[in-house]
Amino acid sequence: MPELAAELETLALVIEIGEMPVRVKTNDPAFHHMLSDRYAGFVTASEHAEIEFNVDLLAPRAGDPDADVCATQRAGRWSLTRGDFSAEWEPDSRRGWIRQSANPYSIDSVLRIVHTLVLAKKGGFLLHSASAIRNGKAVLFAGVSGAGKTTISRLAPSDVTLLTDEISYVRRRSDGYVAFGTPFAGELAKIGENVSAPIAAVYLLAQGPENHIDAVSPSEAVRSLLSNILFFAEDEDLVRAAFDSAFEFVSRVLVSRLTFLPDSRVWELIR
């Protein structure tokens, strides 16, 4: 039955974020097209992938995308579930599957979770923060929703390259840390540039009547960092890894508090 074989042709694309290529395979041309658009700038022509997911599309259902993620590991296999998707991933074979409806948000969450799990083993993490490159160095602006991540991103002058206004990608290197652009956008609804730079500083965002930068103690820096690191798994080893990563990061990267007015003059402090 050649007609049926043609209908079931598998389409694939490789989405590379933070130097980790992930191949996504689907039988649905419209979904493939949607992913190509959604991750434009992060889709590579490379054949190599560190992880491969087969996506099984289900009929839309009333799953809650705001439900808590459950990420558990059993017998070397990760199980990832939320109201709107279920997925499994086996790190040893580097393969997994995702069951979801044809929407970009579910797979976006799976990618975030998988990246956090992989990064945690390597001393890196995803951080609730905007990030940008200026003068060849990356700066991160950390804070919870409403702290000003999108605002400071929107105020960035033209010589600033925006990496993300929502989720920063941090990898450890032997000589420090590097931030990568991500397609994980916040209220700005604009994906970051797919570039990277060494991290020079992290600013904990606060809004106030004037622009100023204040020192914070290392313990406050660690606490703030830990409260903004994306964390999904209830796994003792990964908790320890994230905990140690926060301390290591603070020992190498300057963390300060940036109080700012919502106008572009704040960028005069960021050089």
Partner 1 sequence: MSKLFVARDSRVAARSLDGEMMIMSGRDSTLFTLNRTATLLWQAADGVTPLDEIVERRICVEFEVDPSVALQDAESLARELANHEILQVSKEPILQKSAGASR
Residue with Cβ nearer partner 1 (23 or 115): 115
**Minimal distance, residue 201 CB to partner 1, in Å:** 19
Residue with Cβ nearer partner 1 (95 or 223): 223
Contact residues: partner 1, CB under 8 A: 217-219, 222-223, 226-227, 231, 234-236, 239-240, 242-244, 247
Tokens of 175: 């000589």
CA end-to-end span of the chain: 64
**Minimal distance, residue 60 CB to partner 1, in Å:** 32
**Minimal distance, residue 71 CB to partner 1, in Å:** 12
Listed residue (238, 233, 227) closest to 120, CA to CA: 238
Residue with Cβ nearer partner 1 (36 or 217): 217
**Minimal distance, residue 169 CB to partner 1, in Å:** 20
Cβ atoms 57, 28 nearer than 8 A: yes
Residue with Cβ nearer partner 1 (41 or 218): 218
**Minimal distance, residue 229 CB to partner 1, in Å:** 9
Residue with Cβ nearer partner 1 (23 or 82): 82
**Minimal distance, residue 228 CB to partner 1, in Å:** 12
**Minimal distance, residue 239 CB to partner 1, in Å:** 5
**Minimal distance, residue 218 CB to partner 1, in Å:** 5
C-alpha–C-alpha distance, residues 263 and 238, integer Å: 39
Residue with Cβ nearer partner 1 (97 or 247): 247
Provide the residue type at 8 as one letter: L
Residue with Cβ nearer partner 1 (19 or 244): 244
Tokens of 43: 């889709």
Residue with Cβ nearer partner 1 (13 or 222): 222
